[in-house]
Amino acid sequence: MRKNMNTRINGANVILVPYQEKHVVKYHEWMKNPILQYLTGSEPLTLEEEFEMQKRWLEDEDTVAECTFIILDKCVFLSTGSETDAMIGDTNLFFNDLQETNIAEIEIMIADEAYRGKKRGWEAVILMMHYGFETLNINKFRAKIKSDNVMSINMFEKLGFREVEKSEIFQEVTLEKQASSDWMNWLHSELKSVIPNSH
């Protein structure tokens, strides 16, 4: 969305940057992977469609839209200066309901397998929720996750989310978390405990 066009969010091991044209080709290559398509519930797009989608996401004026950040590995970016080389995944906030602009569905994807299991997703999702709470006035977060994606379900449960719905048809569970200042303070303390890695 236009509101976050110039936003950069710095963490210990990741940097979140808005999804821009320079990221599209690598993102498109990721999304050719059938496993990532399955886990994210995505349909494969042509490269031209991906460019159109990126432009729409970035320039959308609506608050009821999608807020998308690309996740960069901080060490790689600092050593190469290249956002494309440093790309490891993305995180999104979806505003699905015109009547409920303070509720957002959150997604996280670590597309680069080398960075899974290294708390990059954990750090990125906390940074994203902090941004959503402080800047976009979100007071409830929702996550829809494939039932067999145990790692992701466990991560959100550790973040305080609780299951509210299970769909056999879509093979997914829905988890929610009511946001509060106390919870944000706890998330902030979790971020402080993340130790910067160096290659």
The predicted-structure confidence for 48-93, as pLDDT tens digits, reads as follows: 777 787 777 666 655 446 788 999 999 999 999 999 999 999 999 9
198 assigned to some structural domain: no
How many domains is the chain built from?
A: 1
199 assigned to some structural domain: no
Residue 140 near residue 161 (C-beta atoms within 8 A): no
85 assigned to some structural domain: yes
142 assigned to some structural domain: yes
Q: What's the rounded Cα separation, in Å, for the pair 130 and 124?
A: 10
**Side chain identity at residue 12, one-letter code:** A
Q: Read off the tokens for 174.
A: 């829905």
Query: Nearest to residue 19, comparing CAs of 11, 28, 140?
Result: 28
CATH number for 63 = 3.40.630.30
47 assigned to some structural domain: yes
71 assigned to some structural domain: yes
12 assigned to some structural domain: yes
Domain residues for the domain of 36 are 2-192
119 assigned to some structural domain: yes
Query: Which pLDDT tens digits describe the chain residue by residue (199 residues)?
Result: 455 666 899 999 999 999 999 999 999 899 888 888 877 777 777 777 777 877 776 666 554 467 889 999 999 999 999 999 999 999 999 887 767 779 999 999 999 999 999 999 999 999 999 999 999 999 999 999 999 999 999 999 999 999 999 999 989 999 999 999 999 999 999 998 888 886 5
**Burial, 145: exposed, middle or buried (Cβ in 10 Å; 0-12, 13-18, 19+)?**
buried
